[in-house]
Amino acid sequence: MEIMISNKEKLLERIEQALSSIRPHLALDGGNIEVVELTDDMIVKIKWIGNCETCSMSAMTMKSGIEFTIKSAIPEIVAVEAVNGEK
């Protein structure tokens, strides 16, 4: 019996694949990110982990790294937001 995968689950898979290219760079500085939610209005909510939580560069990393990578791979995503704030 084949299990149907929802569109949201497929999108989350694609988001994780896109983030796989960024995670090694974050890990070099002792950090990471976790996808918390994909909202119905196509906003990806992430949580900063490790050193990324307190990094003063997290806002720049969000826009030029994470959001750019996700939106390039999945154009239907409208924004990426951190649930635990940006410094």
User: Which pLDDT score, from 0 to 100, does residue 85 have?
Assistant: 61
Residue 1 has pLDDT above 80, yes or no: no
**Residue 87: band (very low, low, confident or very high) from pLDDT cuts 50, 70, 90:** very low
Range of the domain at 35: 30-87
**Residue 57: band (very low, low, confident or very high) from pLDDT cuts 50, 70, 90:** confident
Cα 34–chain centre separation: 7
Query: Beta partners for 76?
Result: none
Rounded Cα distance between 87 and 83, Å, is: 12
Element (H, E) at 9: helix 7-19
Answer yes or no: is 45 within a domain. yes
- pLDDT digits 0-9 by tens, 6-49: 889 999 999 999 999 999 999 998 999 999 999 999 999 999 99
Q: What is the CATH number of the domain that holds 50?
A: 3.30.300.130
The torsion angle over the Cα atoms of residues 56, 63, 67 and 54, rounded to 10 degrees, is: 10
Looking only at the bridges linking them, the beta strands covering 79-82 and 43-50 are parallel
Answer yes or no: is 5 within a domain. no
Domain count, the chain: 1
